[in-house]
Amino acid sequence: MAPGAADRLGAAQFGNVLTSDSIPVSAERWLEIVPIAPLVARTVRYLCGEGRQFDLG
Amino acid sequence: MPPVLPSAVQVLAGDAHPVLAENLAHELMVPLASAEVAAFADGEIRVHVSQDVRDAAVFIVQPTCAPVNDHLMVLALLVDAVRAAGAARVTGIVPYFGYARQEQRSRPGDPRSAQVVSQLLGGVGLDHLITLDLHAPTLESALPMPATLLRAEELFLPRIKSWASRDLVVVTPDAGGLKRAQRLALALDAPLAVITKSRPGPDTATSLQVLGEVENRACLVVDDMAVPAARWFVLPTPPGRRGPGKFTLSLRMR
């Protein structure tokens, strides 16, 4: 997160703030973090599955 | 039960986001390999991969977030390291793709920075790129390798729907995010509003006006970067009218 962004977000009048963990992000009381690992894992499985993209031999 | 991956799949953590790499390896049920990343006294970065990657499909987890240049260089060196060690395929998992904002020249004398970064990664042997909400989707056509572009709304939609907000309006804080907001508005069956703004300088923006109906509505502000956060909550209210209702923000942290 850019310097100062967390402070500005925390001070803003948002009812909810929803973000992903696409970069490291600190847990805050006002922040709801959705993990991206399951989505990325599905993509990796798709890419590796049934030789769609990768031929691993 | 998800299908079992071929044993030749390896997840390699860079230094930018080891937690994500760990979570991904856990999801995939494969061991996590970590690279040694250090620097010489002059700041020159050196990396080392001790894992045997010969004939493997290697997925390197390394968002090029701040410090962007260091993380980008580590990624490039890791790609070369596993390529030189005999990896069959190298995929970069780069959910934050640094320099993507600079995909076009805004004035004579500017470089095409995003293309430079793309060519750097292609030049060292990156076979495939997985990224999340590429800031400028048009950049995909300039990438020298195939790319999988993931969308954050896949992650956010179930949460947003669970809030069951009535009178919801999706707000994009600038015209550049219009398509992203349109997709979300369509999925939520909600109207759309756009904030027009000017950019007096890098990382600064001034809100000018809101196009669309936000009065007394629950506003879902959608953006993909936290850099200009100072302006998200400055929704101008026309004279003599009530302002918007509750705000909700959905974004990707960068």
pLDDT one-digit tens code per residue, B153-181 = 888 899 888 887 778 899 988 777 888 89
Cα distances from A43 to residues A4, A49, B30, B107, in angstroms, run: 33, 10, 15, 37
B9-150 and B153-251: identical CATH topology: yes
Cα distances from B144 to residues B79, B123, B125, in angstroms, run: 15, 9, 10
B197 classed as catalytic: yes
pLDDT tens readout for residues B167-223: 889 998 877 788 889 999 999 999 999 988 776 666 666 667 888 888 888 888 888
Using the 8-state DSSP alphabet, how is residue B11 labeled?
Answer: E
| Distance in angstroms (rounded) separating the CA atoms of residues B187 and B159 | 13
Which mean pLDDT values do the consecutive 10-residue runs of chain A (57 residues) have?
Answer: 69 80 87 93 86 45
Chain A to chain B Cβ contacts (< 8 Å) = 155
For chain A, what are the domain ranges?
5-51
Question: Beta-carbon neighbour count of residue B123 at 10 Å?
Answer: 12
* CB atoms A43 and B152 under 8 Å: no
* CB atoms A5 and B229 under 8 Å: yes
Q: What are the chain A neighbours of B5 within 8 Å (beta carbons)? A: 44-45, 48
Instruction: Kindly report the nearest CA distance between residue A40 and chain B, in angstroms.
Output: 7
Q: What are the chain A neighbours of B249 within 8 Å (beta carbons)? A: 9, 12, 14, 16-18
| Distance in angstroms (rounded) separating the CA atoms of residues B21 and B67 | 18
By the CB < 8 Å criterion, does A10 face chain B?
no
* CB atoms A45 and B155 under 8 Å: no
| Residue B140, pLDDT above cutoff 70 | yes
pLDDT band at B235 (very low <50, low <70, confident <90, very high): very low
b (16+ CB within 10 A) / e for B44-69: ebebebebebeebbbbbbbbbbbebe
Catalytic residue among B161, B179, B197, B246: B197
pLDDT band at B226 (very low <50, low <70, confident <90, very high): low
Nearest to A23 among B155, B159, B253 (CB): B253
pLDDT tens readout for residues B7-18: 589 999 999 999
Integer-rounded Cα radius of gyration of chain A: 17
More confident call, B234 vs B120:
B120
Nearest to B57 among A20, A43, A48 (CB): A48
Q: Which fold has domain B9-150?
A: Rossmann fold (3.40.50)
pLDDT band at B45 (very low <50, low <70, confident <90, very high): very high
More confident call, A27 vs B79:
B79
Per the DSSP assignment, residues forming a β-bridge with B90 are: B58
pLDDT of B164: 72
Q: What are the chain A neighbours of B230 within 8 Å (beta carbons)? A: 4, 8
**Domain B153-251 architecture:** 3-Layer(aba) Sandwich (3.40)
| Residue B225, pLDDT above cutoff 90 | no
Mean pLDDT on B131-149: 88
Nearest to B8 among A24, A34, A56 (CB): A56
By the CB < 8 Å criterion, does B107 face chain A?
no
Q: What is the helix (H) or strand (E) element at residue B177, kind and residue range?
A: none
pLDDT of B136: 78
Question: Beta-carbon neighbour count of residue B158 at 10 Å?
Answer: 9
For chain B, what are the domain ranges?
9-150, 153-251
> Which residues 6+ apart lie within 8 Å of B193 measured at CB?
B169, B170, B171, B172, B210, B211, B212, B213, B214, B219
Q: What are the chain A neighbours of B91 within 8 Å (beta carbons)? A: 44, 47
Nearest to B60 by CA among B28, B114, B17: B17
* CB atoms A16 and B163 under 8 Å: yes
Instruction: Kindly report the nearest CA distance between residue B17 and chain A, in angstroms.
Output: 6
